[in-house]
Amino acid sequence: MSIIVPAILPASRKDLVDKMERLSGLVDEVQVDIVDGKFASPPTWPYDTGPSELARMLAEGDIIPHAGECRIEVDLMVENPETTAGAWIELGASRVTVHAASSQHLPRLLDSFKTLYGHDKEFSTGLLSIGIAIPPSVDPETLAPYLDQIDYVQFMGIRNVGRQGEPFDTGVLRAIELFRKRHPNTPVQVDGGVSLVTAPKLLELGVSRLVIGSALWRAPDFNKALAELKEMTEEKGIYE
């Protein structure tokens, strides 16, 4: 499993396709950020053209662009993810991250992953992995009731989700440290504000996946930035 996971915040379907093509052959996992313009904003693909786009894709048997070439994680920054999470699995996602604050029915949603898709953290993580995301301001112990149903926790390294280039929130370091002491066997990934500067400390705390957006896409040399991050993780990273 990769430590470095590029994040795509797709302004449009074309933007997603272009970036997926740029990543072709360089990585085997990608996170696609899905923002509905309600839970977070501004909206990304497919909400850039309206909610009907998701229904169209399902009706036409479409899939997430390049889903057959690498493992796709969708980070669902949407209201009521229980209404759309299953659609993303049908469209090719094999990792699904939902934000704890986005759903009033989190237990029901987690149960549905098992009932409808056979998710079991003990047996099927290679087929379908489920995670919950929380911001640094939330006590990570609020996730304790769900840890036996999820495969990982995603800590947000930024305060304003749904945007790339936001400043790193150092409060996440303490949150991760506390969580790892109490739940050392639950994998942790961090999304937001991850760079060559912040990544080493995160890896020292036991983070096993670094989801990286602006540090790659806004780098003067994309390939060089990716290579430097991979080299850094080979020295300091923890592989699952």
Chain segment 134-166, per-residue pLDDT in tens:
998 899 999 999 999 999 999 999 988 988 889
Run of H or E residues at 153? strand 152-156
Q: What is the pLDDT of residue 238?
A: 54
**What's the token pair of residue 10?**
């797709």
**Residue 32: beta bridge partners?**
8, 74
Going by their DSSP bridges, the two strands 71-77 and 29-35 should be labelled as: parallel
Taking only the tens place, the pLDDT of each residue in 6-60 is 999 999 999 999 999 999 999 999 999 999 999 999 999 999 887 788 999 999 9
Taking only the tens place, the pLDDT of each residue in 179-207 is 999 999 999 999 999 999 999 999 999 99
Share of the chain above pLDDT 90, in %: 82
Q: What is the pLDDT of residue 126?
A: 64
What is the number of other CB atoms lying within 10 angstroms of the CB of residue 132? Answer: 25
What is the model's pTM? 0.94
Chain mean pLDDT for the chain: 92
